[in-house]
Structure 1
Amino acid sequence: MAVDVTQILKYSMSTICAVAAIENLLAIAVFAGTKKLRNKYHVFVFNLALADLIFSVLAVVNPWRSSNILDGLLTGAYIVSILTILAVAINRYLALSLMQPARYDSLVTGRRLIGLCMICWCSSFVYGLVMYNAVPDWVLDTVHYFGGSLAGYIVWVITVIVYYLAFRKIKQYTPPLASAAGISANAERDQTRVRQTRRLLVMFVLILVTSFVSWAPAFALRVIVFFDQSLWRDRIFLASIWGSYVLYTLSTVINPLIYWWRLDGFREGFYAMFCRCKAETQEIEGDVTTFENTAAETGL
């Protein structure tokens, strides 16, 4: 019975990942084809969609044709996802509290954000490929399965703390001298900046919760089996492992739905690209001119 369940879980994982690959491919097309979304405000969202796309494509075949190279690439893709969610929190906190807007804009440019994403990709893939192809099994078990799983929890905790600090900074924000003459434009710009940042943070908090719920069981089972290697011969435990892998892949399906829900510009771009119609906009996005000016000025 356990073998049959395992087969069902493998087919379920491949099906879910196939759907996720289509969703994330459409999401990337919308981000690339919508002028309103092609700015550094959405660099990390695009990077997360790319990571989910690569992960889901590789995970479609992983249950049936697993290899060390494939496992290493899969590991690199989900590490990029975790680091991207953390990078958004740190970036938004820096923009809100540690620098003046002009100073922040001069230091945190779109090219540098893209460069940071490339560093994450390269280092994550190198780590994954080295772990699965160039180290002894005991190093893989100790460093990756055990240490990497604990590190995942630690990164989530750090990310939650940074998001909390960012939301606290937003809550405490008051436009400086907003009523004084001659600076109303700056005050309006700063208010728009805060609204956009709050909306982006809420979206990534939802993504963070989704990733934790999806990935935490698999990481927990890896820690458990590290202390009892005999569990790998238990059919019920193996079925549980594959069940956690199926849950693991759900975040790649859910994330594009969160983009659709939280990003009005994403919905507009999707309708314009695939339906040739225009979605209703909400106040948070504003008109195109306001959004582009604000994004360019504040570095969002």
Structure 2
Amino acid sequence: MADPLRTYIYYASMLVFTCSGTLINLATVCAILLNKALRKKQHIFIFSLALADCTSAAEMFISNLFEFLEISFGMGADSWIECLFVTGLVISIISTLAIAFERLIILRIDALGSRRIVTARRSIAIFVVVWIIVPAVYFLVRGFSKAASNTFLYFVSPCIVIVSLFITAICYILIYKKIARISENVGLNDAALQRRAKNIKKVLVTFALVIASTSACWIIMCCVLLVEYIYLIYYLQELETLWFKVTADIANVLVSINGILNPVIIWLRLTDFRAQLRAGFERLGCRKYVSQNSSQVTSDSTTAVTNRSVSTINITMDDI
């Protein structure tokens, strides 16, 4: 960056956003681990998402701090740290996709049959497998071949991001349409069930916002990585034009912002997280919040419900 003003603005933005993203996601990880009310099976992949965002944000903060202070990592450590950064981002996208698949399975399979495919043990198993396989692949490829590592970092990774976001969006569209049809079949007198359907829609809108923000923040970065990879393949050198550098700077800032948006959306919109956030403020002596969702109505267990659509709402509310 030849322009000193642009350099300071860029690094100031990156350091502030990445530090904030690291702290917020770290707080989310600790809250889920330490708070019994948040240790639920439907929060396992949210935990994975927060951990991945925390990892990538911390790496971005360290890299930009060292680069700004002109401190060298030495012994090629920068490329290994770059692998850690991309690993965190890929796992973040995969976790977002896993959340969508989990809710789609709950609604369309678990709720309509006697089997419970989505269980805490299976979710934890998937979480562990993803966190073992993805870093292993990226670091092993980096250890054996730098050329193959560049292919993974600059071509495979953005392709994974784009495809995952597209599939995730389709999953939420299918889920939302299903819930909309269920809501239409609920009678006007079923006030509790109508509220349940409304709450389910709110959860889905929450994760739709995560998808929208992630897509908006990531689309430029994916394009930058793909263009950089193609240019490197054909011309055997990095693209050094001013417009590309500015675009790459914008892409990096947007990705760092995405690490903040994900936990903020989750904490402000999901009932369980918002309740714990409110309780935390109250313990600190802050203004007490008036909870509009504090008295969630549970449908009377003695009421006979024969309609399959109503049954689906009852079964899926706690999971979704």
- TM-score higher than 0.5 here? yes
**Equivalent position of 2:306 in the other structure:** none
**Equivalent position of 1:232 in the other structure:** 239
**Equivalent position of 1:29 in the other structure:** 30
**Equivalent position of 1:244 in the other structure:** 251
CA contact (8 A) 2:90 2:160 kept: no
CA contact (8 A) 2:86 2:157 kept: no
- Superposed CA offset, 1:155-182 (max 9, x none): 2111111111111111112699989xxx
Instruction: Verify: 1:121 aligned to 2:131, yes or no.
Output: yes
Query: What aligned pairs does 1:1-300 form with structure 2 within 5 A after superposition?
Result: 2-4=2-4, 5-63=6-64, 64=66, 65=73, 67-100=78-111, 103-104=114-115, 106-137=116-147, 139-173=148-182, 194-229=197-232, 230-273=237-280, 275-276=282-283, 279-283=289-293, 286=296, 299-300=319-320
Question: Structure 1: which 5+ runs fail to align?
Answer: none
CA contact (8 A) 1:80 1:121 kept: yes
Give the TM-score normalised by the residue count of structure 2. 0.77
Give the drift of 1:81. 0.9
CA-atom RMSD in angstroms: 3.2
Give the drift of 1:263. 1.9
Give the drift of 1:82. 0.5
Cα separation, partners in 2 of 1:280 and 1:265, compared to 1, 3 Å:
farther
Distance 2:294 2:102 in 1: 20
Q: Percent identity?
A: 24
Structure ID, larger Rg: 2
CA contact (8 A) 2:111 2:315 kept: no
Cα separation, partners in 2 of 1:285 and 1:246, compared to 1, 3 Å:
farther
**Equivalent position of 2:70 in the other structure:** none
Give the drift of 1:101. 5.7
Q: How many residues align?
A: 288
Q: Quick check: which one's helix share is greater?
A: 1
Give the drift of 1:274. 5.0
Tell me the secondary structure at the aligned position of residue 51 of structure 1: helix
224-233 or 202-211: bigger deviation: 224-233
Question: Structure 2: which 5+ runs fail to align?
Answer: 67-72, 301-313
Distance 1:288 1:50 in 2: 33
Cα separation, partners in 2 of 1:271 and 1:33, compared to 1, 3 Å:
farther
Give the drift of 1:57. 1.4
Ranked by relative contact order (alpha carbons within 8 Å, sequence separation 6 or more), the top structure is: 1
CA contact (8 A) 1:52 1:252 kept: yes
Distance 1:163 1:285 in 2: 27
